[in-house]
Amino acid sequence: MDATAPLLFFDSGVGGLSVLGEVRKLLPQAPVIYAADNGGLPYGPKSEAEVAARVCGLLGRMSERFRPRLICIACNTASTIALGMVRDVLNVPIVGTVPAIKPAAEITRSGVIGLLGTAATIRQAYVDRLEAEFASSKRLLRFAAGELVGAAEAKLRGESVDPAIYARAAAGLRDQPGGDAIDTVVLACTHFPLLLAELQTVFGPGVQFVDGAAGIARRIAQLTQGQPFARSEPDLALLTRQDDSLQGLLPTFAHYGLERIEVLQ
């Protein structure tokens, strides 16, 4: 194993930074490429075919160019749609991101769980299977909160966000039959943990929030255990489109240790 081979994190935007942050805690010495498909953002409104084609194509190009030791698809929408396809075509370990329904079912006291995700994520059969396997004795209420993706992107650029966006996400779950009993909320989009403080405010006390980032980090650490790590250059943030708004993200990328910025050619 080449000690300089990077871990490659892939997301539609900045959401996967919530996963990268957890991985940094366990593997601070690991070289990293963080790939944000800002040219395809957002994924939530897209069809399954569009997401699958885009994710497979981009990861194929990135794998060939950067030779990562492991790829983390740090995006629930991309993972629930394209994880199996990517694993079929790339000869590199692939770690996906799926809604944390199992841990939510283990900690809920009321038995009513809310799930916030993109429209594409919450309709996937993959989520149905997770519910059937781990939460069949619970009540799982789903809401497509795609507005939160844009809110997280804006927040990390230092822009103001309309608080009504967070209130609508909470109401989308609370206003469903049985929603007043929700005591646990699954954040089924990697963008959403970046808004944890705002979501805690609108849901109020007594609600726990669950996401999969820490578990993903443990899995990546397990798969790379014993491998040598060495940086030959600063870690990279890789974008798929030149965008004027990228300037606002530079402090955020630097906070996560991404000191170089490139646009995929």
Catalytic residues: 75, 189
Distance of CA 38 to the CA centre of its chain: 14
Contact (CB, 8 A) for 205 and 57:
no
**Torsion of the alpha carbons at 173, 115, 43 and 38, rounded to the nearest 10:** 100
**Rounded distance between C-alpha atoms, residue 30 and residue 1, angstroms:** 13
CA 139 to CA 256: how far, in whole Å? 36
Measured CA to CA in angstroms, residue 33 lies from 5, 16, 52, 67, 260 at distances of 10, 12, 21, 11, 10
